[in-house]
Structure 1
Amino acid sequence: MFDQEDDDTFSEFEDDELHPMLRVDLRQVGRRDELLATLAHTLDLPPLHDWQDMYSALTNPDWMAPEGCVLALEHSDHFARENPADFLCVLESLQQVAEYWRERGLSFWTLVGRDDGDTDLPQLH
């Protein structure tokens, strides 16, 4: 996780030409269906109805860049505060996506951006 104003975090990944950064702005997202719709629209995925749809879409080889990618969930504070269980599901699903691609020799990183450095976001283990 990183503070949105931390340019160093982004610049490290933005300069990586092999792994495109895909930015998803969660600033206006308040519910699970809005999150899934925002992911689908921003990442050019088919409609997503649940976490399994998200996992299936993000593990589709036709979607993934040849060497992998970086997914940046920007401005995640509001959604995380309003929907802590759903936010944890998103993070866990993305962790499973990363494991899937790692087993196939590709990189998939997720950056979680927050506006308020004091916001408690769930930690994965």
Structure 2
Amino acid sequence: MQFLVFLIYLGTYLQISLAEVNVKTFPLPKNCPPHSHAEKCGNCEPFCDPEPRVCTLNCYPGCVCDSGYIRSINGTCITIKQCENTCNCPKGTTCVHAPTPRVCIRAPCFQFDCVKPGNCS
């Protein structure tokens, strides 16, 4: 049990130490794009992207989107409402999450209409 506590303490210490080294090595940005600001640990923020993103424990200074904004696929900060927009694509097409706007393209596979549970015959 003591060894486990030691490992947790060591891991926390190393993470804090790495964060301090990264802040010293990589200074805070002086100018951030519109709707964003500089933070000491700005490398892991939410994205407007259907694909999950992997965040590391490393901490690097960078520009992060202001409150109420989210990082778009093309790297700009957009409102959360803009991110929620989805394509209402017709049957046979699929939504492509291009930077802006999202577009419908012909789907590579045949699509079926949704069927409510219990209505199969």
- TM-score interval, normalised by the smaller of the two chains: under 0.3
Higher relative contact order (CA 8 A, sep 6+): 1
TM-score by length of 1: 0.20
In proportion to residue count, which structure has more helix?
A: 1
TM-score by length of 2: 0.20
Larger radius of gyration: 2
